[in-house]
Structure 1
Amino acid sequence: MNLQQLEYFKVIASTKNFTTASNLLSVTQPALSKAIAKLEEELDVSLFARDGRNIEITHFGEVFLKYADAALNEVQRGKEKLQEMKRCKDCVISIASTYCLGATFIPFLISNFLSNSLQTKFNLNNQSREEILKDLKYSRINFGFFDSLKEMEAYPEIEAVLVQKEAYVLIVPKNHPLASQEEVTLEALKEENFIAYKGTSQDETISYEEIMGYTPRIIAEPNEGSILAGLVAAGAGIAIILNTPIINTNKISVVKIKDDLDYKKIYIGWNKHVLLSEHQNLFKEYVLKLGRENDVLENKNIN
């Protein structure tokens, strides 16, 4: 017994005519008759009573029709459910980013994208760059965001593109003498107390020694950006951070640094051997367009 036989049986029961049923089903009448004969043989009952060209469904047939209808309906529901699941899967974008980028860059990136693509759903995770690269390699995520291309030669299947550069700025309390200045030199900060962000990995920790050329007086090393900002707002010290939209300028003043400091680079990476869905491709193109608009697009396809 198969679904085709059940479908044939249902149409014949409805039309009560083999010729009409064969036309509706686009099969020959002999093939239709043979299929029903095999079904009756398997069930060991007559489903139809034949009187020349006229046929009537038997009592056995009426009973079996209820179950055949239910079976066909369940199969159709199953097919529709699979299509729904497929559509939902196509709308999901899985992203992993380093902890710093996950707290600063990613929220605004996704918010802006969703303003034009509300059907998209995101699965988000923060982890180390090494974990991101491994997850991209084994297709556990669609896209990764990180700030360094170290060890990329070990992942030839991953394509990485520079999409943004973020500058470093100085943040000070509103009542600090430097709060009214537009820019400041690092040399002028030697006597200040500093709050230093201590990231979950070496790549995310800002090295004041490397940036400033000397070792400043560091009085606290929080591992969360909100704590760092709170300490600065309270007047405990000042800090050098990335210039991101999350800075609350109601309690903190942002001062440009006159010295020529390097930028924080942000890359998007994906596995170039994995076929992306329509929504995933739209997101990738959106991010790459952002890079082009920022005039920093830099292809880092490692072969």
Structure 2
Amino acid sequence: MTLEELRWFLAVAETEHVTDAAALVGTSQPTLSRAIARLERGLGTPLFDRDRHRLRLNDYGKVYRRHARRALAELDVAEDRIAALLRPMQDTLRLAFVHSLGGWLVPELLGAYQRESPGTGFTLHQESAAGVLELVQDGSAELAVTAPRPAGAGWGWLPLREERLALSVPEGHPLAERVSVRLTELADERFIIMRDEAGLRQITCQIFHQAGVTPSVVLEADEVATIRGMVGAGLGVAVLPTGDGRAAQQPGVRSVPLADQDAYRGIGLAWREDRPASASCRRFRAFAARLAYGPVTPAADG
């Protein structure tokens, strides 16, 4: 099946009508019908339940639609990355950052930089901690705002922030009104944590190991916001960052500071030292170094 035919399948799945889908994708109804039939023969099963007027996805079709959407989304990302590599890079900085920093630190940092250097553009990539390092490694991005610091040789690192971690608990939890809590008190709690590729997962496992505690993990998720929602629903507790202030705004969730000395994550800029840096990359690193451990927005003159 070609990419074009994959898009045709999704059009039929959305419209539930071959004629409407054919008009949407700009092909004839017989051509589209033959493409769907070829796809079903290749898979060895019908993907639609057919009646006189409509085609409705069956269970097999729903599975195929889910994966088709993911495949096309990944290909769109690949096209964007190739386009970014082909564009002149003199005034464009290719920056990757982890999901949990996309709501506060990265926008503030870029806003402050553009006020100082308004001629610079950005090509942005948002990924897991493992994903942003892969982007820098393969040249799709020059810099990554991430946590924790990359392991292994050849990585440059500029520390930007130390962000305290806290225990997120649902309202009414026995620890909800505590001023602080230690990890050694949490051996009997049910934890919701990030998936393996997330930097926060690495940090959480490390501080638990240092405290001599093996957490009981009941759920894993891809996003900090998802975990907070699950905590609010009473599905468990979680160790989460506090830098964006959203923990205090989440309905039904209380944030209790962790008293453990190592309960923080070090956020920084990462780059490959074995690759020449562009002028925009060097300027941004110098700017970030001036703001490291200080306010993101520069103070006004006078």
Output the TM-score relative to the length of structure 1. Answer: 0.55
Identity among equivalent positions (%) equals 21
Confirm or deny: 8 A CA contact 1:183 1:257 kept in the other structure.
yes
* Equivalent residue number for residue 266 of structure 1: 267
Confirm or deny: 8 A CA contact 2:149 2:270 kept in the other structure.
no
Aligned with residue 197 of structure 1, among 178, 194, 198: 194
SS of the residue aligned with 2:234? coil
Separation (CA, whole Å) in 2 of partners of 1:199 and 1:236: 20
Structure 1 gaps of 5+ residues are 1-87, 295-303
Separation (CA, whole Å) in 2 of partners of 1:256 and 1:124: 32
Shift of the 201–257 alpha-carbon distance from structure 1 to 2, 3 Å rule, reads: closer
Tell me if 1:172 matches 2:173: no
Q: How does 1:1-303 map to 2 (within 5 A)?
A: 90-102=90-102, 105-114=105-114, 117=117, 119-127=119-127, 132=132, 135-136=135-136, 139-146=139-146, 147-151=148-152, 153=153, 155=154, 159-201=156-198, 204-205=201-202, 206-207=204-205, 209-210=208-209, 212-245=211-244, 247-250=246-249, 251=251, 252-270=253-271, 274=276, 276-277=278-279, 280-291=281-292, 293=294
Matched letter for residue 247 of structure 1: R
Matched letter for residue 240 of structure 2: I
Confirm or deny: 8 A CA contact 2:129 2:199 kept in the other structure.
no
Matched letter for residue 221 of structure 2: P
Give the Å deviation of 1:100: 4.7
SS of the residue aligned with 2:276? coil
SS of the residue aligned with 1:167? strand
SS of the residue aligned with 1:283? helix
Shift of the 108–253 alpha-carbon distance from structure 1 to 2, 3 Å rule, reads: farther
Structure 2 gaps of 5+ residues are 1-87, 296-302
Shift of the 290–274 alpha-carbon distance from structure 1 to 2, 3 Å rule, reads: same
Separation (CA, whole Å) in 1 of partners of 2:258 and 2:239: 9
Instruction: Please identify the structure whose Cα radius of gyration is greater.
Output: 1
Matched letter for residue 246 of structure 2: I
Confirm or deny: 8 A CA contact 1:99 1:200 kept in the other structure.
no
Give the Å deviation of 1:101: 4.5
* Equivalent residue number for residue 48 of structure 1: none
Give the CA RMSD over aligned residues: 3.4
Confirm or deny: 8 A CA contact 2:191 2:238 kept in the other structure.
yes
Give the Å deviation of 1:119: 4.7
Confirm or deny: 8 A CA contact 1:100 1:199 kept in the other structure.
no
Cα-to-partner distance string for 1:119-157 (whole Å, 9 max, x where unaligned):
543211134666655654665433123322311x2x3xx
Confirm or deny: 8 A CA contact 2:129 2:198 kept in the other structure.
no
